[in-house]
Structure formats: structure tokens, C-alpha cells
Amino acid sequence: MRVLPLMVCSLLCLVESKTYLFPIPQTVEWTGYGSILADQFTVEGQNNLYLHSAVDRYLRLIKMEKWKPVQVPADNTWEVILSGNMLLGLKLEVMNATVKLDMGIDESYGIYIPKEGGYGTIRAATWVGALRGLETFSQLIEKNNNNLVVHSAHIEDAPTYVHRGILLDTSRQFYPVNSILKTLDAQAYNKMNVFHWHITDSQSWPLYLESHPELALLGAYSPLEIYHPEDVKRVIHYAEERGIRVILELDMPAHTASIGESHPAFITCRDQFWANYAAEPPAGQLNPIRSDVFDLVKDIVAEGTEIFPDSLYHTGGDEINDKCWETDPDILAYLNTHNMTTKELWFQWTNRLLQFVINECHKRPILWEDPVRDGGCYPKETIVQTWTTPASHYTSLGYDVIISNYDYFYLDCGHGGWVGNDDRYVSPTQSETPDDQFNYGGSGGSWCAPFKTWQRIYSYDMTYNTTSPGKVLGGEVAMWSEQTGPTVLDGRLWPRSAAAAELYWSGSYDNQGQRRTLESVSERFYDWGYRLQTRGILSEPTQPKWCALNPGQCDLNPPNFI
């Protein structure tokens, strides 16, 4: 074991004894000691190709970032005792290195970094757990003078929720593959394990399918804005290397106007101005009574579920507009003949699609809450993704739930309006009046509002009033792209998504049953934003840097230590 000179030890003995970890592990025991990372530091036990590439990736990252915290701790008792020995290596002990990445995979891990230096250990049930351990290990290392110091700790950690995701809408704006890969990097840093790819919508159809190439060739914005099979494979592989599952969503029967570019007869109300017939422009929904339309749907879904290996498939299903279908005389005649309402027709079509996904594609379906909320009944293996209604409404009915409450987790909100020729922005008196509130308070003229602050996101209680027999699987933040694109993606997602990531991984309550608070997370959160920037993620500033350098001085009320 290599021993440090006493002079070096004396120079480094004021290194902080703990580091800012994000998301916070379930249990951390700091020893108060640290060791210098050896120049020839090695990692043993890489018994999986993904682990091998992850080790290389993290060793490069550690040497590149040479992290020195920006946030000054309010607690000034963090002084560390530097071991006289270096940390020479890390041993990976993985029980299952071949298990398939899928929902429910064991991501637990333990880290032991001895205070006397030598060799640390990461123990994990699966290779994915080892990936999570490597991320935490990277956060135990800080720069001091010209050395990297590894902080001694014993950590036991596992996610609270199995589903921890980001939804990205690539229809309203096209995102180059490299933008998606960068988002996957940031997700891995934050231990998020799902990339929900809302790949198509009414505005464009950028997904190339071998069974129906015309959908993308005619429905994409341009030939340069298409995800070809090699692009999709690249995203899936890149994500899997980082322990991230890619879940495909092909939203239907609404949000399908782009199919009308290649199959105009299959879409109802596509010739109508949007305002009365759709949630946003353009209008258009799949015709629910034509057998040739459903044959197309089966082709699309069958190929999509074959390309994407995850056991879950998102069927969409939100924001049906009754008036759109009622413009079609054949649909009106069908409703009259079968004594049905448009909602009942919607429920019937949805059940038919769910049965196809379950029985023919052998996937477990996810469904936006709308057809359940509005009265439909579906197979209980269906997962309901909520955005307007408390999760308890669906868990009490026996459904498992993914939470994407739009009042907390819609990150696109608060950036103004985008529909044209809107004179509501003219304020006659240039001040708020009872007749002019559009530009003030509330929505402030935004398409959706308000802006979801990281504090609001972190304050969400994932367990609030949830009941059995269904359970909360986790949550997703949503990045809809009416007003977001690749030029601003990093700042819109980060660091706010990190606040959600800690809820999803660590839980709203600690292992003592105490609610996690803004006060307890703030220093870690602020420093994490700076660290993401060092890692190449253009994380948005959340306060003046002066505040990080002067702890407590930017609080709303005087801190206790003054």
C-alpha cells in the first residue's frame, strides 16, 4: 500500500469530510477520513460489457471534472482526516451481470470506501446497480490542491420507485440524435432510468417504419428530420449502456393529424380549423370505425413494439375531441345504429388497441389517464399515466400509476404563448384590472402556466393519499416541445429534473419517515447544478453564485447559525 508523506498529509487535512451526493442515498455513514486517489487507480470485476464501458467512462469523467464544490457548506464542521495511504482501486462484486434491463430490475448497491485507503468495494445485485454505484462513487471524489481525494463512507442505496423518467416530445420540434444522447447522459448522472420517447404527434411523424415508410417520408418536417432505424438503435443502445430503458409512445387515436399527410382518408376533421376540434393545432383524429385504419394501427404498433425491446409500450390515448369525430357522417351513423356516445366509441377503440398490445405484441400497455378518468374500464395490467388527477383515483381502482402531474412536472410551462393573432396580450391600461387578467398573475399569458420551479417540484409528495390495490410505480417529468427545442433543452430540463430525480430515487421521506425538505436539499441541489455544468450539461442557474459562496445569506429568513 502506497503511503503519503507527512508533509502532504498536513497540507490536505482540511478537506471536507463529506461530499454533496445527488440524489441522496438511502443511508450514508461518513467516517471523517479520506484518501488520495492513486494515479494508477484501477477497477476490478467488470464482468459485463456495459460495466466495462461504464468504468472507462467514469474514470475519464473523474479525471476531467476534478470537482471542487462551489457551494460553501453552512456547517463548518466538515474537516477530514487524510489517511496516510492512497486509494489504489475499486472492486466490483456483481451477483447478476447478464439480467435483461427492464422494469423492476434490482438497482440496489452498496459502497464501502475504507478510511485507511487501499481498495474500496461496490457490491450490487445486478450490473445496473453497479452502474448506480459508480455514479455515487464519482461524487465521493473532490479536488484538493493537485490531488483527487476520495471520501471514506459506507453507503447502502436503492431506488424508492422503479420508474424514474423524462418524457421528450420529438414531434412538435425535431431533436438531433446527439441532443437525445446528451439528455441520456444527464439522466444517468441523476439515476433516472426511463427515457419516454413521445416520438410522434399531430405536428409531424419523424419515425421511419419499414412497414409504412410513407408515414415519415410525407409526415416529417423534412427529409433531414427523420429518425431512421439506425438512429433509433443508436439511442436504445446508448441508453442501455447507462441503465436507461427507452419506452416508445405512439399517441393515438387523437394527436394523429400527421398520419393524414400520407393517409388523408384515415383522419377525421383534418380540414377544420383547430380551435373547436383539437387541444391545439392541427386538428385531426384517426377514424375509429374503419377496419383499414385499425389495420394500419396494428402494423405501426407491431413494428414499434418489435424495435423497442422494453416490456412496456405507451399507447397514448389522451385529449379526444368529440366534435372532431362528429364531423364525419359515417361515424354519426355508426353511433346512432349502435346507440353509442362518442366517449363510448373511444373506450371501445381503446380496449381494442390495449388487447392487441397485450395479446399480440406481448407488451404491458401504458395509457394516459383521460379514457379512464372519463369513465372507461380497461385491463388491470394497463398502467395509467396521470397528468390532471391524483394518483389515488387510479390506484383505488386497481391500476398501477406513473405520476406526471402537470401542476408540478410539466417543465415546458411558463414560457409565453405561441398561437398567432392573439390580441389578449394588449393591456389597455397597462395594469391589471378585473377585465384584463390574462397578462397578470395566473397564466401570465403563457400557453400553460405557471413555470414549475425546482422548489415546487421537490415539494411534491409521491405518497399523498395513495391507496391499494394499485401502486405508484414512479414518475416522469414531461418536456413537451411547443416552445422547447434542442437549442434550449438542457436549461429547460436541468437542474429542475434533478429535483424530481431525487423524489423518484430517494423518496419524499427519508428512512426515518421524515419528510425531505427544501432546507435539507438546497446546498446539495445548488452545488449539483454547478457540477452538471462541469459535466457538459448546460444546467440553468437557479440563484446568484454569491449565494453559494455565502451560505444562508440568501435565505428568506435569517439562518439559525447567524
Residues that are catalytic: 319
Q: Which three cell numbers stand for residue 371?
A: 379514457
Task: Compute the half-sphere exposure of residue 127: CA atoms within 13 Å on the CB side of its CA.
Answer: 23
Bridge partners, 245 (sequence order): 194
CA–CA gap between residue 66 and residue 379 (Å, rounded): 51
CA–CA gap between residue 198 and residue 529 (Å, rounded): 26
- Asked if residue 127 lies in contact with residue 96, where contact means CB atoms within 8 angstroms, the answer is yes
CA–CA gap between residue 253 and residue 491 (Å, rounded): 32
Element spanning 38, H or E: strand 27-44
CA–CA gap between residue 80 and residue 78 (Å, rounded): 6
CA–CA gap between residue 281 and residue 156 (Å, rounded): 49
Closest CA to 190 of 502, 506, 509: 502
End-to-end CA distance of the chain: 44
Bridge partners, 153 (sequence order): 30, 113
Which three-class secondary structure string do you get for 224-243? CCCECHHHHHHHHHHHHHCC
Sign of the Cα torsion 369, 190, 486, 304 reads: negative
Closest CA to 261 of 218, 300, 216: 218
CA–CA gap between residue 288 and residue 292 (Å, rounded): 10
DSSP 257: G
Rounded (10°) angle between helices 229-241 and 177-189: 10
Distances (CA, A) of 328 to 2, 271, 286: 80, 11, 11
CA–CA gap between residue 508 and residue 459 (Å, rounded): 8
CA–CA gap between residue 364 and residue 370 (Å, rounded): 18
